Amino acid sequence: KAGVTQTPRYLIKTRGQQVTLSCSPISGHRSVSWYQQTPGQGLQFLFEYFSETQRNKGNFPGRFSGRQFSNSRSEMNVSTLELGDSALYLCASSLGTGLTGELFFGEGSRLTVL
Amino acid sequence: QQQVKQSPQSLIVQKGGISIINCAYENTAFDYFPWYQQFPGKGPALLIAIRPDVSEKKEGRFTISFNKSAKQFSLHIMDSQPGDSATYFCAPNNRGAQKLVFGQGTRLTINP
Rounded Cα distance, A80 and A57, in Å: 19
Chain A nearest-CA distance from B78, in A, is 23
**Contact check, Cβ <8 Å, B97/A99:** yes
**Contact check, Cβ <8 Å, B98/A56:** yes
Nearest alpha-carbon partner for B31 in B107, B97, B102, B111: B97
Flag whether residue A23 sits within 8 Å of chain B, measured between CB atoms: no
Chain A nearest-CA distance from B104, in A, is 6
| Element (DSSP H or E) covering residue B75 | strand B72-77
Percent of chain B with pLDDT over 70: 98
What integer pLDDT is reported at residue B99 of this predicted model? 78
**Contact check, Cβ <8 Å, A108/B43:** yes
Chain A nearest-CA distance from B109, in A, is 17
Rounded Cα distance, B93 and A51, in Å: 21
Flag whether residue A39 sits within 8 Å of chain B, measured between CB atoms: no
State the DSSP code for B112. Answer: -
Interface test with A, best of B7, B36, B88, B99 (most A CBs within 10 A): B99
Instruction: Kindly calculate the radius of gyration of chain A based on its CA atoms and give it in whole angstroms.
Output: 13
CB B91 within 8 A of CB B28: no
Write the pLDDT tens digit of every residue in A12-69.
999 999 999 999 999 999 999 999 999 988 999 999 999 899 988 999 999 999 999 9
Write the pLDDT tens digit of every residue in B46-67.
999 999 899 999 999 999 999 9
What integer pLDDT is reported at residue A98 of this predicted model? 66
Contacts of A105 in chain B (CB under 8 A): 36, 43-45
Classify strands B106-111 and B86-90 as parallel, antiparallel or unpaired.
antiparallel
A108 phi-psi bin (left φ>0, alpha ψ -120 to 50, beta other): left
**Contact check, Cβ <8 Å, A101/B98:** no
Write the pLDDT tens digit of every residue in B8-41.
999 999 999 999 999 999 999 899 999 999 999 8
Task: List Cα–Cα distances, B19 to A3, B78, B109, in angstroms.
Answer: 29, 7, 10
